[in-house]
Amino acid sequence: MIKQLSIYSENKKGTMMEITNVLTGNNINIWGSVTNDSAEFGIIRMVVSDPELAKEKLEEAGFFCRLCNVIGVEMADEVGALNRLLKTLFESNINVDYIYLSFNRDSSLPVQILHAQDAPEVEECIRAKGFRVL
């Protein structure tokens, strides 16, 4: 299971740079991220090298953050790989709340980061279907 950092922030100029300044200043590497915004606020979801420290330091800087479990599934870098994963999840009656891309620095393969309810159960299902879960 991977810990994901979610940062809730105002949608204003320089906010993302403020966040990356805090992470850079604490030697925290961003391994994957996705940003969802609305007119006034956004949610920045990240997989980082030290999620606990990132949360602590960002909260000290005034950001509201939370950690949650997500699933990382290493994929072949080929046409249809994501479709096979999604088909497996669909056939297993699993709803994915959101998904975004990262990569495994050791294997150089893509990693789909996904959030679903009952993450341990979903992780077990994916493994049983032959996928590599990180």
CA neighbours closer than 13 Å in the CB half-sphere of residue 47: 21
**pLDDT score recorded for residue 22:** 98
93: left (phi over 0), alpha (psi -120 to 50) or beta: left
Amino acid at 72: G
pTM for this predicted structure: 0.87
List every span in the chain annotated with CATH 3.30.70.260: 70-129
**pLDDT score recorded for residue 105:** 85
Mean pLDDT of 113-133: 93
pLDDT digits (tens, 9 = 90+) for 87-109: 999 999 999 999 999 998 888 89
Distance between CA atoms of 69 and 1, rounded to whole angstroms? 6
* Unique residue bearing structure tokens 């050791």: 106
pLDDT digits (tens, 9 = 90+) for 57-82: 999 999 999 999 999 999 999 999 99
List every span in the chain annotated with CATH 3.30.2130.10: 2-67
pLDDT digits (tens, 9 = 90+) for 10-51: 888 999 999 999 999 999 999 999 998 777 788 999 999 999
Say if residue 4's pLDDT is above 90.
yes
Which superfamily, per CATH, for 2-67?
Answer: VC0802-like (3.30.2130.10)
Of 12, 31, 45, 54, nearest to 105 (Cα)?
A: 31
Distance between CA atoms of 89 and 119, rounded to whole angstroms? 12
CATH code reported for the domain at 70-129: 3.30.70.260
Asked whether 112 and 103 are in contact (CB, 8 A), the reply is no
**pLDDT score recorded for residue 50:** 97
